[in-house]
Amino acid sequence: MAKSERRAFGLNTREAWWDDPLSDSEDEGPDRLRWPIMGVAFLLPFLIPVTKSLAARPEVDAGVVLTGVLVYAYALCYLLFPMVFRRPRAVKLGFGIGMNVLGLAVVGAASANPFILLYGTAVMVFLTPAAWAVIVDVATLLAGALVLVAEGKFLDDYGDLITVGSVTLAMFFMANLVRAVRRLEQANKEIATLAVANERQRVARDLHDLLGHSLTTITVKAGLARRVLESAGDIPRAVEEIREVEGLTRSALSDVRATVSEYREVSLSAELVGARAALRAAEIDADLPHAVDNVRPEFQNPFGYVLREAVTNVLRHSGAKQVKVRLGDNWLEVEDDGRAAEVVPGNGLRGLSERLDAAGGTLRASARPGGGWLVRAEIPLPEPRAAAPAVRAEPAGGLA
C-alpha cells in the first residue's frame, strides 16, 4: 500500500498517534446496555473494601464524606465513560484526564491500593489517540509513585503500580488493535464502493462505445435501405442492406452480453472493416489503411476503441464527405472535412481518455484549420532495454 493510502486510512502514520483519522461519530465504544452490568462487576473488587474501610471509621467527618464522594465519583465515571465515545475529541481527553486525577485523589485521600488507577488508565487508552494515552497514563503512574512515596508506602505497593503499568500497556495494544481493525473495515468498505463504481463506469463506457457505434451504423444502413426503396425500388440491394442491419443487430447483442460478462475484446482490424462499411453506407469517402500490421499488438485494442468512437462521431455530428485514417506503430489519427466546431468532451471522449490513460497514452481532439476535426491518440513506446554485454567465445581447448 502506498504511503498516501496508508495516510488516508490512518495506518502506520505519525498523524494517527495524535489524531485518530476515523470520525468521532463512528467511535461507538462498549455496548451501552450491557456495559453497566460488566462495569459494576469490575468495580466491586474496588468498592467493597473501600466502602468497608469508610464504614469502619468511628465517626463521620468532612474527610470521610470527601473521600466517599471521590470514590463514588471515580466509580461513576468508569460506568459512564461509554457515553463519551461519540463526543468531540477534546471532551474525551478532558474526561480521561479528569478520571485519572480522581483516581490519584482516591489513592491519596483514602489510602487505597494503587491498583485502582487501572480504571482511569484503561479508560484513557480506549478514549483517546495513542500519543495522548501514553502521555496521560505515564504521568498518572509517575504521580501515583510520588503519592506512595509521600505516604511512605512505596516499598510496599510499588509492585501493584508495576502491575497497573503492565495491564495498561496490554490494554494499550488491544485498543490500538481495535482501532486498526476498525480502520481496515472502513478501508474495505471504501474499496468495495470504489470497485462497484469502477465496474459501473466500465460497463457504462463499454456500452456507450458499443451501442453508440452499432446503433449509428444500423440507423445509417436502415436509412440507406429506405432511400433505395423510395428512389430506385432496387429490392435486392435493399434486402442486402437489411440483412446487414440484421447481422449488425445480432453482433451488437452478442457484444452487449460479452461486455456485461467482461469478456469482450476489440480488434483494430475488425473496427477498420466495420468503419469502412459504415462510412460507405453513409456515402462518405473513406481513406482507410488496408492492414494494421504496423501498429504494435499491445496498442491495437485501445486504438480500436478510438477508431470506433471517432467514426461514430463523424457519422453523427460532422456532416463530413471524406474521412482519412492513418496508423503508426504507437499512434492513430482520424480526420474529416466536416463542420469545425468547439470540442466539447462528452461521454465518448471521456471514456477514450480513460482507456488511454490506463495504457499511459493521450487523446487529443481539435478542429482542423481548413475545417473538420482531427482526433489523435498516442501511446509512448516502452523504453528499450539495455543490451546485454557481448561475451567473446573462446575456442575449445583454452588459449592458443
Are 22 and 130 in the same domain?
Answer: yes
Q: Is residue 32 part of a domain?
A: yes
Helix or strand or coil: residue 393?
coil
Which of 332-346, 355-369, 370-384 has the weakest average pLDDT?
332-346
- 58 and 183 share one domain: yes
**32 falls in which pLDDT band (50, 70, 90)?**
low
- Residue 64 sits in which domain range? 13-193
What is the per-residue pLDDT for 264? 57
pLDDT of residue 325: 92
Mean pLDDT of 250-266: 67
Residue 217 makes CB contacts below 8 A (sequence gap 6+) with 248, 274, 277, 278, 281, 315
Q: Is 62 a domain residue? A: yes
Please write the tens of the pLDDT for every residue from 284-334: 888 898 888 888 888 888 888 888 888 888 887 777 888 999 998 889 999
In a domain, 91, yes or no: yes
| 310 CB-near residues (< 8 Å, 6+ apart) | 334, 375
Please check whether residues 187 and 304 belong to one and the same domain. Answer: no
Q: What percent of the chain has pLDDT over 90?
A: 6
Residue 145 dihedral angles phi and psi, to the nearest 5°: -65, -40
Among the residue ranges 37-51, 57-71, 339-353, the one predicted with the least confidence is 339-353
- Verify that 187 and 314 share a domain, yes or no: no
Q: How confident is the model at residue 258 (pLDDT cuts 50, 70, 90)?
A: low
Judged by DSSP in three states, 394 sits in coil
Task: Report the predicted TM-score, pTM, of the whole model to 2 decimal places.
Answer: 0.49
Does one domain contain both 55 and 166? Answer: yes
pLDDT reading at 36 higher than 80: no
- Whether 79 and 187 map to the same domain: the answer is yes
Same domain, 176 and 37: yes
Spatial CB neighbours of 115, under 8 Å, sequence gap ≥ 6? 46, 160, 163, 164
In terms of Cα–Cα distance, which of 106, 142, 137 is closest to 121? Answer: 137
Please check the confidence at residue 144 and state whether its pLDDT lies above 80.
Answer: yes
Please report, for residues 230, 244, 395, 396, the alpha-carbon distance to residue 226 in angstroms, rounded to integers and kept in the order given.
Answer: 6, 14, 79, 81
- Examine the domain organization and report whether 297 and 161 are in the same domain: no
Domain boundary (156, 177, 193) is at 193
- Identify the domain boundary among 159, 193, 227: 193
Q: Say if 269 falls within a structural domain.
A: no
Evaluate if residue 22 carries a pLDDT over 60: no
Nearest-5° Cα angle at 146, 119 to 172: 35
Same domain as 154, residue 43: yes
Tell me what the mean pLDDT of segment 133-154 comes to: 89
Strands 331-336, 373-378: pairing kind: antiparallel
Q: Is residue 3 part of a domain?
A: no
Percent of the chain scoring above 70 in pLDDT:
79
Candidate from 12-21, 122-131, 209-218 with smallest mean pLDDT: 12-21
Residue 133 clears pLDDT 50, i.e. is over it: yes
pLDDT of 315? 80
Q: What is the mean pLDDT of residues 101-105?
A: 89
CATH of the domain at 374: 3.30.565.10
Same domain flag for 52 and 168: yes
| Residues near 239 by beta carbon (within 8 Å), at least 6 away in sequence | none
**Is pLDDT at 25 greater than 60 in this prediction?**
no
pLDDT, tens only, 203-239: 677 666 666 767 777 787 788 788 878 887 778 888 8
Tell me the range of 34-43, 137-146, 154-163, 247-256 where mean pLDDT is highest.
137-146
Query: Among the three residues 193, 222, 254, which one is the final residue of a domain in this structure?
Result: 193
Average predicted confidence (pLDDT) for the chain = 78
291, part of any domain: yes
| 317, part of any domain | yes
Residue 386 within any structural domain of the chain: no
Mean local confidence (pLDDT), 39-66: 77
Which residue type does 261 have?
A: S
CA 146 and chain centroid, separation: 49
Domain count, the chain: 2
